[in-house]
Amino acid sequence: MSDISVPPAAQPLEPTPPPERPVWRIIRDFRRSPLALFGLALLVVIVAAAFLAPWITPQNPYDLRSLSIMDSRLAPGEVGFSGTSFWLGTDGQGRDMFSAILYGLRISLMVGVIACTSALILGLTLGLVAAYFGGRIDTLVMRLVDLHLSFPPILVALILLAILGRGLENIIFALIIVQWATFARMARATALSERGREYIEAAQSLGLSRTRILFGHLLPNCLPPMMVLYTVEIASAIALEATLSFLGVGLPATQPSLGLLIANGFQFVLSGQYWISVFPGIALLLLIVAINLVGDRLRDVLNPRNIT
């Protein structure tokens, strides 16, 4: 007579393989999308080119002495007065477009990264603090954030710059003010959902100090969605800076960003000399698209439900 509750002939269950570390999974899933890889490659090329600009460009577009008005408005590929050929043509003042674009990318990237990173740090800190301490601090921060976010970024930046005037520091400051709220809101939302989890309770019951819990435990777990937001916002920052420079309230003429180049070239479009506006625009476009492709895929990868 056999007893159903005792399994003499049951096979042992197969051991399940250990789960792979999250970082590897993220990298593996990211690699699955050819579009994202393309975006990443493009991004690397652009950043490298911008970084190496002083060494690889034939001309320093900021150095007024190296410009010759005789070379102005040459079409792409034409040879200039001095004998050098300008691959992408020249602008109204004789600047080599290729050099100007690379230097412009450099500025755009620098402004974008600095502003966005600072906004990230500021927003992350405020969001975490608001979520962790709750109560009045939370309400205060959130009201501020809501107020901030109900206005379109460009308007806020415009007004700020109208008051502060042009200049590199002012632009970066304006961008930080525009962007911190998005980071703060995301940080707070993530922190709130993490705060209720058990590992936080465990840390608390171990008597760890609040600072340690906040920065050692809560922070690392809030980072993934923040990273996705970061990539999106960098693209935003770069686009916003370009727009502001285009409108004439951004970077001054001594530090020509891509926006200013495009603005300068606008007047020539009507007479068919398209390259002065179009090429910087394409460069800007490629940069932003590359960032967005990478960010898009990163977002899908970090949220497992979306994997195709």
Partner 1 sequence: MVYVIRRLLQAVFLALVMSFLVFTGIFAVGNPVDILIDPEATQAERVRLIAQLGLDRPFHEQYFVFLGNVLQGDFGNSFVYNRPALGLILERMPATLELAFAAIVIAVVLGIPLGMYAGLRPGTAGSQTVMAGSILGFSVPNFWQAIMLIMIFAVMLGWFPVSGRGQVGEFMGIRSSLFTVNGLQHMALPAINLAIGHLALVIRLARSGTQEVKAQDFIRFARAKGLSEPRIVLVHLLRNILIPIVTLVGMSFGGLIAFAVVTESIFAWPGMGKLIIDSIRQLDRPVVVAYLIVIVVIFIILNLLVDLLYSLIDPRIRLDGAKQ
Partner 2 sequence: MSLLEINNLQTHFFTSGGVVKAVDGVSYHVDRGEVLAVVGESGSGKSVTGLSVMGLIEEPGRVVGGSIRFDGREIANLPAHEMRKLRGARIAMIFQDPMMTLNPVLRVDTQMVETIHAHREMSKSAAWALCRDTLGRVGIPAPDERMRAFPHQFSGGMRQRVAIAIALLNKPDLIIADEPTTALDVTIQAQILHLMQGLVEEDGTGLVWITHDLSVVAGFADRVAVMYAGEIVEQATTDGLIEAPQHPYSRGLIGSVPSRNRRGARLAQIPGGAPPALNRPQGCRFAPRCAYRLAGCDAPQTLRNNVRCWRADELPAFEEVPA
Residues that bind partner 2 (CB under 8 A): 1-11, 13
Taking the chain, what is the end-to-end CA distance rounded to the nearest angstrom?
52
- Binding to partner 1 by CB under 8 A, coded x per residue (else -) over 161-200, reads xxx-------------------------------------
Let me know: does 200 contact 213? Beta carbons within 8 Å.
yes
248 binds partner 1 (CB under 8 A): yes
Calculate the CA 121 to chain-centre distance. Answer: 14
Q: How far is the CB of 31 from partner 2 (least distance, A)?
A: 16
Residue 247 binds which one of partner 2, partner 1, none, with CB within 5 to 8 A depending on kind?
partner 1
Residue 293 binds which one of partner 1, partner 2, none, with CB within 5 to 8 A depending on kind?
partner 1
Contacts (CB under 8 A) with partner 1, residues 206-245: 235, 239, 242-243
Residue 158 binds which one of partner 1, partner 2, none, with CB within 5 to 8 A depending on kind?
partner 1
Q: Which is nearer to partner 1, 208 or 269 (CB)?
A: 269
272 binds partner 1 (CB under 8 A): yes
Q: Which is nearer to partner 1, 123 or 281 (CB)?
A: 281
| Site stretch for partner 1 (CB under 8 A), options 65-73, 86-94, 111-119, 283-291 | 283-291
List 44, 79, 140, 285, residue binding partner 1 (CB under 8 A): 285
Q: Which is nearer to partner 1, 69 or 140 (CB)?
A: 140
270 binds partner 1 (CB under 8 A): yes
Q: How far is the CB of 163 from partner 1 (least distance, A)?
A: 5
Q: How far is the CB of 296 from partner 2 (least distance, A)?
A: 21
Residue 150 binds which one of partner 1, partner 2, none, with CB within 5 to 8 A depending on kind?
partner 1
Length of the chain: 308
List 42, 47, 142, 158, residue binding partner 1 (CB under 8 A): 158
Give 179: exposed, middle or buried? Use CB within 10 Å, 0-12, 13-18, 19+.
Answer: buried
**Phi, psi (rounded to 5 degrees) for 48:** -60, -45
Can you tell me which residue has the tokens 């502003």? 115
Token couple for 18:
């250990």
Query: For residue 98, which of 90, 106, 107 has the smallest C-alpha distance?
Result: 90
Radius of gyration of the chain (CA): 26
138 binds partner 1 (CB under 8 A): no
Which residues contribute to the site for partner 1 (CB under 8 A)?
A: 147, 150-152, 154-155, 158-159, 161-163, 235, 239, 242-243, 246-249, 259, 262, 266, 269-270, 272, 274, 277-278, 281, 284-285, 288-289, 292-293, 296, 308
